[in-house]
Amino acid sequence: MSNREIEVKNLEKRYPGDVIAVDGVSLKVEAGQIYGFLGPNGAGKSTTVKILTTLALPSAGSATVGGYDVVEEAGEVRRIAGVALQDVGLDPLMKPLELLTLQGRLFGASRRDARARAEELMQLVRLEEAVDRQVGTYSGGMKRRLDLAMALVHQPEILFLDEPTTGLDPASRRDVWREVRRLNEQLGMTIFLTTQYLEEADELADMISIIDRGKIVKSGSPAALKASLGAESLNLAFSERESAERANVLLQSIADRTQLDRVTVRVYMNDVAHKIPSIIERLSSAELDPVSLTLTQPTLDDVFLQVTGTTFDKERTEAEIQELALS
Amino acid sequence: MAAQAPTVKTIPSKAKFRAPILEQIFLVTWQNLVTIFRRPAALIPPIAISLFFLVIYNSTLGGAAAFIPNLGANSYLGFILPLSIVSASLSGAGIAAQNLVRNIESGYFDKLLLTPIKRSALLTGTILSGAVILGLQAALVLGVAMLMGLRIETGILGAVAVVGMSVLLGLGFAGFTMSAALGSGSAAVTQSAGFIFFPLTFLAPTFVPLELLSGWLRVAARLNPITYVLQAMRAIINEGWVWPEIFAGILACVILGGAMYLLTLFALRRRTARS
């Protein structure tokens, strides 16, 4: 029986050419927790998952899954962990019950038990009506749900989901979210979830780590992370960058914190809603006129912006993308 | 979703974490065969080519039978049939490797690596699926030859021996293409790898006995394992249980197969090694 925890200490993964995909990552996932690993494309999420699921070796550091070392006790890790990777690995010529039954039998179940388990999982992921079709005829959402079922065949204690809803339509995404929550609530399954979707992490995770360029830049519960930015933020959009920069400097003297994001200045301060008139007056006196003004609750994007200086939407340069592609 | 979601029940299971090795091999063999037979179009070309050459060679070169010793009651068909069977082995050998590439490209191969499956079971199961296909192909070619009037001197047992030898030989070819599949993960490279053995079928006593070859071709034929397989099959079909020739053929298959199995094992270890 595992302890259903995940512990990572100073994990590193380097590739030839001095590419550092994972750079000193440390984290701990408590038993029964849904842990969100949030970051943009190329941040190092999938590489971390590959190491934790024994598909890759770390260059340095250590990690245990369920109390088992991922390097020395890989077999035990595979026994207690279920994995649904970013790329669904399904044979398109096989039918779902065949795949699920085969999976169950490889994990040592009898033919009858494996078949029963397969039928149960088909119901769980709502694919009963497609049971006689080859997997190659499935939609992307159906394949993801079947892949999730494959990860659950051997009743794992810890589940790794690598971007489980990437490419899915909103309805399918909600279906997957619902399944993930149910697994956690009903079975107490520890779930390690990587995602590039802020709302997914916000919706599902008990704890979040934000990873960027191989490093963890911030960790905490979604509520705590957002609360660290204050109650609300005032977003002032300008027509040009120069105006935004001047406004950012001007408002730093009165705000708890400001953040410049392209042509938008975000102002974080207590009771910011009541201070709007004085802010506008100060800007007007400097001949700075924002084109729009919005009041928003802090989001994880705000958190990401604060800790990395960029948003998830910002396009990386081609060189950055190529550099991070290996991760 | 409107309906009440089903709850997850725990199925009483006697799961012991890992299936026994023989069961693992059986499961991999079964998975490969199911998917191979669900694409029957891939099975047709190797058979068609072998049967085509059988008919063509027998028709165009049948007059050479007068110069061929030890044909017994058979026509030139008894001499040329082993070439068709070997050709079937060669072209059919790539089928299991192509299926392996398909598993790699679809990501299912990586999915299997996340189970407790032993790497040797993964390899052996894939090889066995190839053996089944090769056996069926060889039996079909042999069956057509018998319909064309071939008489096997050693009877049913001899027919089984010929099919068995073609399977053994084909597994050697298959090992090479599988190592290409594991090394490259590419269908194109895997298909190309199969052609490397094609010249071997002609650097042999392909159309005439070894004694009638001369010069460099005779030297090359003596060094070619296919020569001994052809001679063994011809002995079984036309003469009887000529054990020295049969053992030489089996030995050639074992040496080729053993070398290719090691190559494949090495390629599998490289692909599945964690880095």
pLDDT tens-digit series, residues B118-175: 988 998 899 889 888 889 999 999 999 999 888 899 999 999 999 999 998 888 888 8
Q: What was the pLDDT predicted at A293?
A: 92
A136 touching chain B per CB within 8 A: no
Answer whether residue B31 is part of any domain.
yes
Please report, for residues A41, A239, A272, the alpha-carbon distance to residue A301 in angstroms, rounded to integers and kept in the order given. 15, 22, 19
CA-based angle A144:A146:A147, to the nearest 5?
Answer: 60
The answer to whether residue A316 scores a pLDDT higher than 60 is no
User: 3-state SS of chain A?
Assistant: CCCCCEEEEEEEEEECCCEEEEEEEEEEECCCCEEEEECCCCCCHHHHHHHHCCCCCCCEEEEEECCEECCCCHHHHHHHEEEECCCCCCCCCCCHHHHHHHHHHHCCCCHHHHHHHHHHHHHHCCCHHHCCCCHHHCCHHHHHHHHHHHHHCCCCCEEEEECCCCCCCHHHHHHHHHHHHHHHHHHCCEEEEEECCHHHHHHHCCEEEEEECCEEEEEECHHHHHHCCCCCEEEEECCCHHHHHHHHHHHCCCCCEEEEECCEEEEECCCHHHHHHHHHHHHHHCCCCCCEEEEECCCHHHHHHHHHCCCCCCCCCHHHHHHHHCC
Domains of chain A: 6-226 (3.40.50.300), 230-297 (3.30.70.980)
Residue B81, min C-alpha distance to chain A (Å): 35
Local confidence band at B66 (pLDDT 50, 70, 90 cut-offs): low
Q: Say how far apart CA B122 and CA A194 lie, in whole Å.
A: 30
Who among B18, B27, B274 is closest to A102 (CB)? B27
Answer whether residue B42 is part of any domain.
yes
Residue B31, min C-alpha distance to chain A (Å): 8
More confident residue, A229 or B82: B82
**Residues 79-138 of chain B whose Cβ lies under 8 A from any Cβ of chain A:** 102-103, 106-117
Answer whether residue B11 is part of any domain.
no
What's the whole-model pTM score?
0.79
Answer whether residue B4 is part of any domain.
no
The answer to whether residue A124 scores a pLDDT higher than 90 is no
The answer to whether residue A322 scores a pLDDT higher than 50 is no
Predicted ipTM of the assembly = 0.81
What's the mean pLDDT in A152-164? 92
What's the mean pLDDT in B33-38? 93
Answer whether residue B62 is part of any domain.
no
Who among B9, B27, B102 is closest to A105 (CB)? B27
Q: What was the pLDDT predicted at A245?
A: 94
Query: Is residue B147 classed as helix, strand or coil in its secondary structure?
Result: helix
Answer whether residue B260 is part of any domain.
yes
Q: What was the pLDDT predicted at A53?
A: 94
The answer to whether residue B117 scores a pLDDT higher than 60 is yes
Q: What was the pLDDT predicted at B65?
A: 66
Q: Is A126 left (phi over 0), alpha (psi -120 to 50) or beta?
A: left
A110 touching chain B per CB within 8 A: yes
* Domain of B154, in residue numbers: 21-57+71-272
Answer whether residue B116 is part of any domain.
yes
Q: Say how far apart CA B204 and CA B210 lie, in whole Å.
A: 8
Please answer yes or no on whether A89 and B35 come within 8 Å at the CB atom.
Answer: no
Please answer yes or no on whether A92 and B106 come within 8 Å at the CB atom.
Answer: yes
Q: Say how far apart CA B42 and CA B47 lie, in whole Å.
A: 10
> What are the pLDDT digits (tens) for B186-238?
888 888 887 777 888 888 888 888 888 889 999 999 999 899 999 999 999 99
